[in-house]
Amino acid sequence: MSMGAVTSSAWSVRAARERSHTDRHRDLLDAAARVFAARGYAETTVAAITAEAGVARATLYVYFASKEEIFHALAARVRDDFLAAQEPGLVGDDPRKTLRATMDAFAAAARDAGPLLRMIEERGAIEPALAGLATEIAERPIRRFARWIERQRQAATVAPVAEPRVVAETIGYALASGALQRRNANPAAWEEYLRNMRTVAETLLGMGSTAAPRS
């Protein structure tokens, strides 16, 4: 066997192990999210999380040292999901398409986070280590959205009815709240809600009466 084949084989084994590690880490977080959502923070235990994940405690402790560390990791994932929903420029230069894609992704992130959002806010008020993440989740998406609105206003592609920060708050907070209330909505009801929210957002941004295309 050649050295190149050995090297290739070694890298394949390493890549497989890294994928396995990443998958297990994600599966544990998914299980923890379900348990926290069902039981609340105080009633959630490491034993409940490992039972939900179908793993031994020793396996969980390879990745997380405590329930608190798991919750912090979940909060970081929620933060990252919200920020990923607002990556600019992914759908070209059309502000209407960008707005639609951002709102759809933001609403999905809020729906998927579910009860964790309120838990993160509550824990952030009493845990200094979590306070920063709680603030980021609440503020960074709104600030990013406000900056996008301001850029579009300067480019004369939107004419917001109020200052960008106020419009960003109005759309962002309403969208997150509405998405949480509709976590269990069927696909048709969910899409209808998003269509209505796009209309509201476009009106607040002075984008004219042309409705976003239906899916």
Instruction: List pLDDT tens digits, range 27-60.
Output: 999 999 999 999 999 999 999 999 999 999 999 9
Q: Does position 166 have pLDDT exceeding 70, yes or no?
A: yes
Walk me through the domains of the chain, giving residue ranges and CATH numbers.
Answer: 13-65 (1.10.10.60), 70-205 (1.10.357.10)
- The CA angle 141-28-71, to the nearest 5 degrees, is 50
Q: Residue 21: which pLDDT band, with cuts at 50, 70 and 90? A: low
Indicate the DSSP class of residue 157.
S
For the ranges 36-45, 73-82, 191-200, which has the lowest average pLDDT?
Answer: 73-82
Full-model pTM? 0.74
Contacts of 52-61 with C-beta under 8 Å, sequence gap 24+, read 53/27, 53/28, 55/24, 55/28, 59/24, 60/28
* Cα within 13 Å of Cα(46), Cβ side: 15
Query: What pLDDT, in 10s, does the model give residues 101-122?
Result: 889 989 998 898 888 988 999 9
Mean pLDDT computed over 89-93: 55
